[in-house]
Structure 1
Amino acid sequence: MPPLTKRRFSHGRTHRRRAHDAITLPNLVECPHCKTPRMAHQVCPSCGYYKGVEVVKQEDKDKKKPAA
């Protein structure tokens, strides 16, 4: 059996505790290589560069093989 609390928490105490639980939007910065918005300290999803170095090899969209 789980332990039971002796008293119920008031609404004010509950809301004060949850006051810092709000979700914030991620901070977006401009990619210096392709100028698209990306998350800070992350590899750019559109060009694959991070700190001026290509980290992830990106395929060209026209070079993809069509599904047969």
Structure 2
Amino acid sequence: RELEALLQAAEKQGAVVEISGPSGASRSGLLRTVVEGRGAASRILVLGPDRTPPGGWPAMGSLFGI
């Protein structure tokens, strides 16, 4: 419920939600849950470290104007 409330608040603001954490923190499981529950209602972009430009998410976000 808390996750859904956070996602709805971010969506209303047009915000970006970043899922991050250390290895083994279950980011993939959380992402799967989010995608299954929000896939039709939200635009979802999954980034991998091998497909992100130097500078990580901040650099990529600025490329897209986010």
Same-fold status (TM-score > 0.5):
no
Given the two structures, how large is their TM-score scaled by the length of structure 2? Answer: 0.23
Give the TM-score of the pair, scaled to structure 1: 0.23
Identify the structure with bigger relative contact order (alpha carbons < 8 Å, sequence gap 6+).
Answer: 2
Structure whose residues are more often helix by fraction: 2
Structure that is richer in strand per residue:
1
Structure of higher CA gyration radius: 1
